[in-house]
Structure formats: C-alpha cells, structure tokens
Structure 1
C-alpha cells in the first residue's frame, strides 16, 4: 500500500475530536494514558469490562436500576451484559431536548424541505405513544412498519421504543412476499404502513400491497396509515390515519425502562438459507454501541447535521437514528439518489448544510463512472466527512472523492452489518486516509484476519474473525430454539469466535484494513445483501425450471457480476420469454436488485453429498481459484457438474 495519504487530520481536528476528549477523560478519571489510537484499541479489546463500563460513565447512561455484573458468561454466544440494569433508548435521545432547536430535516425528490424541532418531535412521539398504549401495546410486543424514510418513521420508532415495545421495519419498495417472509415470523400486534411512495419522479401506489400484508398477518390487531402520496384508493374504515393522532390532547412522554438485554428491534438477514433470519438486538447493547461509534469514529457533535441516505429496510436507517443521541440534527431524504440526476444529493447537501454525508460505495462508484464532479458544480462547504458502507470502496473511488468531490474531506469508509447494527471497522481522526483502506478497527472490536490454519495474520488475505464479545452482537434470533441458527451463522468455523464472512487484509504499517468481499454465499449486490433463498423462492414458481444457483462476483473497480444458473426440466429450454418471466418475478416480488446480470442454462447444479447447494465453492471456481482450493470433490453428490463452471469461468473478465 502506498504511504502517501489522500488526507490527514490537522492538529486542531485531532485535539478537538471526541476521541481525544475521551482519552483525556480516561487520563483524568483512571490515570490511564494512551499515546496512540492503536494502544487505546488494544486496551479496549484486552480490558473489555473496563472499556465498556467506562462508556456508561463517559456518556452518562441513565440506568433505572443498577447492574450486578458487567459481563456474565465466558463464551460467545450466550454472553450477557450489565445484567440487572434497566434503561430506555428513546429516553437518552430526549436528553438532548431543546424545544426550538431543529431535530429533523427532511427532503425528497420534489425539492420539498421540512424541519421538525424538538418540541414538535416530542409532541408527535408522545401522541403516538399514548395511542399505542391505549390500544394495548406494551413492553415486549412487536410493532412493525412498512414506511419510507420520512419523519413519520422516526416518530413511530421513538414512540414504540418509549413503551418498551419491539420495532421492526421494511421499506415500501419490498415486494409482498419479502415483507410477509419477515414480519410473519415475529407476529406483530400493530403495523404502521404507507399508502405509497415516490421514486424517480413517479408515485407508486401500495394500497393493495398493504391490504395483502395485513390479511397475511393474523396477529395484527390495529393498522395505522401514513397517507404519503395523493390519489390512492381508500383503505378500510377501521384503519387509522396517523395524522389524526397529532390533534389528540397532549400527554406527557413517558419512558418504560427495559432490561439491558431486552430486545430493541428485529432486523433481518438476507435469507441465504430459508427465510430471512430475524436478528434481535438488545436495547442496552445498541445504545452503548451507537454512542461509541457516533462519537469516537464519526465524531458527530451537537448542532451538526448528520445525513445518511438509506431506506427503512437497511440497518443504516436504524444506525442513523443514533445521530439524535449526539444532539445532532438528523437529516432524512426520501426518493432516488440519482433523480433527476446524480447531483441530487449534493444539491440537497448545499440546501440544508450537511456536515456528515453518509452514502453507499455503489453511489460513489456510480458517480465516478458517470464522470460527475460535484466540486465544480456545488459548494459542499459544510461537509466535513463523507462516510461510505454497503460494499468495499475501491481505490479508484477513494481517489475520485478527493479529486472530484472535496479535497479536504474526511473519507470514512466503514464496514459492519445488520448482524451488529454498527461497523466493526471505520473512521479514526487520529489517522490519515490511505487509498483503498479503512482507517482502523473500532474500539472494543477484537477483530483479526485468520488464515486457513486459524492463525492471526497481517499483510495477507484472511477471514474476518472477532474473538471477543460486543454488546451489540445479537441476543438471539427470533424463534431459534437453543440458538441453533445463531450458532450456525457465526460460530461453526471457529467455536466461541465470530466469523463474519468477509475476506480482509490488515496493513501492519498503517493499521488500516482492506475488505475483499464476501467469503460466503450471501449476495452483496451493489451494497445490498441479498439472500440466495429469496431468489430460489421466486424461481420455484416458474414451472419450466428444475433447479437454480446464483452467485455474485465482486470484480475490480467496484463492478459486480451476478449470473443466475438454471437447470431446465426435461423437454424444456431456456429462451428470451422465459428469461423475461424470471426477471419480472424477481423484480415484482422482491426488488430490481434481485434481477441477475445473466441467466445461463446449465446441465446440472452442484450439490454436496448431504444435499447442500454449493454456492460458495462455485463462486471460488468462477474467480478462477485453483480447483483444489475451491471444492472438495469427494464431498460432492455430482462432481461432474463442476466442469461447466470451470469452462464458464474462462469467459469472465
């Protein structure tokens, strides 16, 4: 890696960072001095009890009852944190209440910009919480949302959480089956849904979709509607328009304390095998983690404007809510990031003075490929950091940001996941930014690269492994008896250690990291993880197809190639009409991101002897990794099926 940094923090930026303030606090409070970020990181991962307890004090976490132990249990999974402590996430957000200060800025494709101050936010959260309480929503109940990224989604989450209830959301661009696959597993009591949404300048009516979702979820007792678009057919009379709630008599906003290890929300894996896995995070674990990352790795300060382009179906929406914990103004945008052109979000930034601009690697790559140069068309003077996640950011995109967007910006490439609703690796104001590298391992994240012998390595490719627990790791998967699915997802390869499923390389000289994409079969499609099982469920509805296999290849320069391989039934042949049918089913039942780049007929689909489809090994074959390092042929049910893929790999550039 070249050691000529693209950007370096100034001495003033380092000294004024929250990270530096924390180091000074540790010195004053505990007489512990750290001369480098690396020494602080080592302490945070070797003295994990001391580190996480220090955050309770540094961020002034309010417990309604005290904890007995910092950590209970010795091996992942099964570790419990701060047992006995009770708290509320929304309560900590409203610690920053200042009636006339702007809490939320909202914009959309039409150019509309709305501002919500803390008084208005509190009144609406209180009104919705009071209504939910009157219809019987209580601690431990599930409330789900089918909403766009509008203030109403945040209001709904804060209201649900204030009652100690459990939140879960998807965005309205999800297909019916995809939503039902997720929500049906957790048996929600209430759904808050939208009548439609706007994208690329067009309204999309979701009235019939909402009705199908509701009729498919018999546990639902009440339906609340956000009428976001005009001119849609009427809903049943017993559905409640949320706008009618705001006129109710104002009730005080109360906060129901829950146990530190009680659920805050349910997020979903991409469904690589079977239904998407409902991942449950703890209230206290998420609160601690969000304070830590927002403060030390994003340096988000009171009165700053924090933006992340997301939908409510991506974990970054949940992460974005944490900007309110910091006393910052949360900036929301609903619509396409490229409508009417790729300058849309940069124009929006200038209008509302974004300080921290969060996006995905695919957005920056698309901007680069379309040769837009925002530094020549926009001011961008307010932006001090640009954060990127969702996929590895290639070196050319790093250079593009500094050449064509802003040359004095802090580029924070980060990586984590739905699994922990945060980043394992990310930004650090103690370090410069090097081309293609994520700056650091986050505090409290004992992360290493493991070679094939399970040895920790630097300066070579390895599996990303976390060998000590974090509070924001899932407390469990919903309906997962004895944690079987949970253990299989992360702990099968290295018992007691978390294998994340990414290939990484740690640079011993800079302490930075490079992520080389997925090491498992999950499809990382332009920054959005897609489960192969979702693809297969749609393909199963097409009678002419006997079997299928799909992989996504992360190629150089941020490019992706996702071929779908299909085995046809006897006397059936793949043709253009059938390809169109496949694409239509995937697009309408799931999303446009599920549509493959190519559909290829194959003589057979590779399986293990035990009957598992061999996606990850075939991905290695298509990457032209030597066969002996890609597939154990002795473990195959039909080893001859690999020959087609060996030949097909030769056609991929």
Structure 2
C-alpha cells in the first residue's frame, strides 16, 4: 500500500535552473513559485497568451486587435491574427532530426526537418492537383506512420481540414465520423500489422469510400497490396516542390477530432490553427519540458488525440517518435525497449500500459536519456507512481495529466518546478482556470467536485462540425452551468494547488449518499495480483439505491474462488467503506474498452439497466466488443 501524497521525486537545483519554464519566468521577469505564475496566467489571460506568442516568436501576423472577445461559449481569440500550423511545425535547421519511425516488425525510418519539408511540399502539390483547397476536408484511415504526419502537415499548409481514424476502427465507426464531414480526399492503407498478425483492410476501405460521395480521390499508402481505383502515394508525391503555407485566421479549422463514440454519433470537434499552436507550445515546453535536442515518444494511434499532441512536438523543435504496432508485442516491454534504443527523453503512454507493465514485473533498462514520463487516459493509481520510481527510473519526472479530446491538451498536469507525489497531479496547467464545483455550483478546495473551467482557453473547440447555431456544443459543456465549461470528471483540488482525478462524474459510485470516483475502487481491486483488470458499476438511479457489481478479469492460472472473493470484500470494506462492498463479484474474460483504452463504465451500466447493446455502445469504437456478451441486464 502506497500512501496517497507520498513524495517520490523532488526537482534538483539543476532541474530547476534548466527547466524551460524557468527561462520563461526569467524572460517575463516573474520569478517565484509555480502557483503564483499560474494565478497570473488565469488572472491576466490576454497578457499571458500574448506572452506565449511573443516568447516563442510564433510565425504569423498577430494583428492589432484584442486578444480575446466575448465569453464562453462564444469567446474568440486573436480575431485579427493570421497563422498556419504547418509553417510553425516545419521551422528550424533543415539538418536536424525531426522524425523517427519504428514499428513492431523492426522497420525504422528517419526524416530531417529538410526531408520532412520536402515530403510535405510534394504531397501538398499532389493535393492541389486533386482539387483540394482551403476549407476542404481531408480524411485519413492510416496507422501511426510517417505518411500520416506528412499528409496532415500538407493538408494544414493549404488551410484544408484534417481528420483521421486508425485502421483498427471498423467500417461503421469510421463511416459515422467521416460522413459527417464530407471529405474531398481519403488517405487509406490497404492493411496493417498488429500483435504479429497482418490485417487486410481493402474491403473496409471500399465500404468507407462508397459512403462518401464527396470524395474526389482515394490515396493508397501501400502496405502489401494496392487498392483498386486509388491514387498511389508515389503518384501523389511525384512533383518536387517547396512547401508553401497559407496563413489563415487564428480560429480557422485545423482538424476535426471526435468524442469516443461509445454511445450515439461521435461529436465532430473542430480546433483552430492558432489555439492549438499556442496551447501545444505552452504545454509541451513548460509542462513536458520539451525543446530542441529532446526525443519525444507518445504511444498512440491516429484515432486518439494524443497523436495530434505528439505531432505538436515539432512545434517546440523536438524529434518525435512514431510507433506503429502493439504495445505488448512481442512482450509487455516492447515500448520500453523502443524508448531505450532511440534515446527517448520523454515517453508517454496510457495509464493502463504502466499498470500492465507493473503487474507483469517489467524492469526497464537502458533508459539513461529518459527525463520525463507521461501518463494519461485514466487515473494512474499511487502504486503505479511508486512502481515507476522503484523499477523504472528513480530520477525521472512522472507527469500524470488529465484533459481531453475536447481541448487536445491537459487541464491539470505536471511541471518540473514541483515534486511528484503518489496519486496526485501536481498542478493546474498554465492558462487553465480549473475549479471543483460542489452540487450547488460553488467552488470548493479539499473536497471532491465537478471539474469545471470558469474562463476560456484558446484550444477550446471553435465549433462542432455541422452545428451552425452551436446548440450541440452548448449542450455538451455548458448546459449545467451557464457560461461555465463542465468537463464531466470528478476532481479534488488540494490547498497547495495539487489535484486528484477520481474518474468520470457520470459513472460515480453513490452508495448511501457517499459519492466516490471509480478510480478509488480500481486502485484497491487491481492491487491484487490475481486481478488483471476490473470494472465496477453502480446501477442506482434517480436517487434509488441499486446493486454494486464488480467485474474482474483474472490473471492466468487464477480462479475466482471463495477465498479470493472474501479477500476482495474484506479489503474493500476496510479501505473504502462497508457501503462499497460489491453485491456481487463476477468473472469476465475481458473488460470492455474503447480503442483509446478507456473503460466503458457508462455503456455497461446502460446494458445492465436493460438498454440493448447496439444502442448502449458503439461496437466499432471498441477494442474488444465481444466481451459485452458477458454483461447481462439485471433481472
């Protein structure tokens, strides 16, 4: 058992001196503790975000107008500015290493800044020949390969709008997304490799393309076999041409990303060029402490916002590592081996991978270059924090972050000025006025409340696609507290500014009036060596108590016998409360998760309450839809 809040890492004087955020404070002439800097950033947002533009010498025209006009949900940032994301991402020494690509089959490619620019210029020219212009949508059904990054940057350079899904998405899930945005060009791969197996996607690509009458062309990035009637990647990039960058208004759409799509039609969330450039410069430089000379690796697919965040490493001059394949092939240590072999200085992944590595007894070696380690996707339990420092690297800065696709960044996270404490996120991020609201809508400190933002950030959506009046956007974030962004997470803000995330507020355990986030439950259950994964569901509704059901997936060779059940019940009673002892503990072969690794707590709850599976969950947005057969409505 690890005590929540135990200090595991303290920044050394050298870390404090060399941190990117320290240099920024010196440039600002604002020395002092982080909490003071955060307070200034949210008290003076116009001055703060202007300083980000100036400090990083952003390529573009800022204009003479106001920094922000209006308030949430209609705030507009830098309304007189023009900017292009790709221009800012492709700056720098042409000989500097920009991209490293690795895959699970052992293939490796690299690109310098100059080589990446040349490829972007070629693909941009090809897109122009296909008739792509400013405002057109370009969709991609691609794995995390260099061609995806190149196609995105070429699209952005034109002022066209990017949107991607990874090839492990089923056709219905992709169709749900891309039919909403009517793309002009579809980039697609004919197949991919995962977990040592090859998957042919030609039929899926055909099904997707057949539903998109807006398509002028499908571009095939080859894996094994060509796609019939498609433009080849080589033909698209056949014309050597220097890249050009069309500067667009600050809020001009850069990309369209989607809510997880576990229920209902996915929300097509649109982010703007300028907001993403400023946010990612701030987050990656000051919170991840990244800059020139760093090697930045985040394990992700093109269907998760972390791919977009990883691409942002180019903005700060880091070398980005793209990885295509399974995190656990040929073994659980696969990503750790890539981190060691490529001299990665900052490695990020989902919390479930860190927990899986811990449970598998992985002891990574060769991480001499590693300074930072990022965790997101779900709360990392205190035991996961402790394992990093005992078995991975004692001097690494672990940064647990929480934010979302909605803003393509973190609201709360780490910073090299503050210590790392088990189970605690060190701070609210610069420029993010995060509060915890009680049931009456009042801010609280030291208590669990709804995570809200009380002032806008530049990377908030500029709109939802096909939502001209903003009704869907308003309903998603502003329906509960007018003018206040409700994110849907439980958070506790500590008196010193640290934060603890307790999971989604719409999947809260409410037992006899005692509300608890699911992360607290998982922390207890998944500490058992016998438990590989778990899901807890409270079926109570409309103020009525329901059943508390615990589903467990066990490690190989383990049985859910009476002794294990008794130990689980006793431990939950002792460490949580008698109200949180499950009414039933049920073994299942797997816990349902989205393609980005999130547990499907809300859809499973709906299934248990009688909603048909097809209406409760989007099977094509899941890693393992077959396991839903093991979750039955409560009689």
When the two structures are superposed, what TM-score results if normalisation uses the length of structure 1? 0.80
SS at match of 2:446: coil
1:282 aligns with 2:272: yes
Contact 1:564-1:596 at 8 Å conserved across structures: no
Shift of 1:272: 5.6
1:217-250 Cα offsets, whole Å, 9 max, x none, are 111111101002x2x4x4223x11112344x342
Structure 2: unaligned runs, 5 residues or longer: 509-516, 520-547, 553-571, 577-590, 592-598
Extract structure 1 runs of 4+ deviating beyond 6 A. Answer: 550-557, 585-588
1:62-102 Cα offsets, whole Å, 9 max, x none, are 224624111111x2101001012111010011222x23221
1:599 aligns with 2:630: yes
Among 409, 413, 418, the alignment partner of 2:400 is: 413
Are the structure 2 counterparts of residues 60 and 465 from structure 1 closer, same or farther at C-alpha, using a change threshold of 3 Å?
same
1:506-550 Cα offsets, whole Å, 9 max, x none, are 1214x211100001269x999xxxxxxxxxxxxxxxxxxxxxxx9
Among 34, 37, 41, the alignment partner of 2:38 is: 41
SS at match of 2:423: coil
Q: Which position in structure 2 is the counterpart of 1:83?
A: 79
Are the structure 2 counterparts of residues 371 and 260 from structure 1 closer, same or farther at C-alpha, using a change threshold of 3 Å?
same
Are the structure 2 counterparts of residues 41 and 338 from structure 1 closer, same or farther at C-alpha, using a change threshold of 3 Å?
same
1:408-435 Cα offsets, whole Å, 9 max, x none, are 1100100110000011011111100001
Are the structure 2 counterparts of residues 53 and 457 from structure 1 closer, same or farther at C-alpha, using a change threshold of 3 Å?
same
Shift of 1:115: 1.2
Shift of 1:339: 0.3
Contact 1:260-1:284 at 8 Å conserved across structures: yes
Shift of 1:598: 6.3
Contact 2:126-2:239 at 8 Å conserved across structures: no
1:520 aligns with 2:506: yes
SS at match of 1:39: helix
Equivalent residues in 2 for 1:458-473, closer than 5 Å? 458-473=445-460
SS at match of 1:492: coil
Q: Which position in structure 2 is the counterpart of 1:329?
A: 319
Contact 2:397-2:420 at 8 Å conserved across structures: yes
Shift of 1:2: 5.7
Equivalent residues in 2 for 1:224-235, closer than 5 Å? 224-228=219-223, 230=224, 232=225, 234-235=226-227
Shift of 1:216: 0.8
SS at match of 1:35: coil
When the two structures are superposed, what TM-score results if normalisation uses the length of structure 2? 0.83
Q: Which position in structure 1 is the counterpart of 2:57?
A: 60
Contact 1:147-1:171 at 8 Å conserved across structures: yes
Structure 2 CA distance for aligned equivalents of residues 397 and 348 of structure 1 = 21
Structure 2 CA distance for aligned equivalents of residues 265 and 474 of structure 1 = 10
Among 65, 69, 72, the alignment partner of 2:66 is: 69
Q: Which position in structure 2 is the counterpart of 1:431?
A: 418
Q: Which position in structure 2 is the counterpart of 1:9?
A: 11
SS at match of 1:6: strand
Shift of 1:147: 0.3
Equivalent residues in 2 for 1:193-592, closer than 5 Å? 193-228=188-223, 230=224, 232=225, 234-237=226-229, 239-246=230-237, 248-271=238-261, 274-374=264-364, 378-509=365-496, 511-520=497-506, 562=601, 563=604, 566=607, 589-592=620-623
Structure 1 CA distance for aligned equivalents of residues 203 and 421 of structure 2 = 50
1:124-159 Cα offsets, whole Å, 9 max, x none, are 110000111122111111000000000010000000
Structure 2 CA distance for aligned equivalents of residues 434 and 590 of structure 1 = 34
Contact 1:587-1:593 at 8 Å conserved across structures: no
Structure 2 CA distance for aligned equivalents of residues 502 and 596 of structure 1 = 26
SS at match of 2:276: helix
Shift of 1:592: 2.4
Contact 2:446-2:495 at 8 Å conserved across structures: yes
Are the structure 2 counterparts of residues 441 and 567 from structure 1 closer, same or farther at C-alpha, using a change threshold of 3 Å?
closer
Shift of 1:588: 7.1
Shift of 1:270: 2.1
* More displaced 10-residue stretch of structure 1: 208-217 or 98-107: 98-107
Q: Which position in structure 2 is the counterpart of 1:50?
A: 47
Contact 2:260-2:621 at 8 Å conserved across structures: no
SS at match of 2:32: coil
Structure 2 CA distance for aligned equivalents of residues 346 and 568 of structure 1 = 41
Structure 2 CA distance for aligned equivalents of residues 456 and 551 of structure 1 = 32
Shift of 1:274: 2.7
Shift of 1:284: 0.5
Equivalent residues in 2 for 1:98-247, closer than 5 Å? 98-228=93-223, 230=224, 232=225, 234-237=226-229, 239-246=230-237
Structure 1 CA distance for aligned equivalents of residues 209 and 86 of structure 2 = 28
Contact 1:565-1:599 at 8 Å conserved across structures: no
Structure 2 CA distance for aligned equivalents of residues 100 and 395 of structure 1 = 42
1:95 aligns with 2:91: yes
Structure 2 CA distance for aligned equivalents of residues 10 and 500 of structure 1 = 35
Structure 1 CA distance for aligned equivalents of residues 221 and 32 of structure 2 = 52
* More displaced 10-residue stretch of structure 1: 172-181 or 559-568: 559-568
Structure 2 CA distance for aligned equivalents of residues 565 and 47 of structure 1 = 43
Contact 1:525-1:552 at 8 Å conserved across structures: no
Shift of 1:551: 11
RMSD: 2.8
SS at match of 1:456: coil
Structure 2 CA distance for aligned equivalents of residues 504 and 479 of structure 1 = 32
Contact 2:117-2:242 at 8 Å conserved across structures: no
Structure 2 CA distance for aligned equivalents of residues 84 and 395 of structure 1 = 46
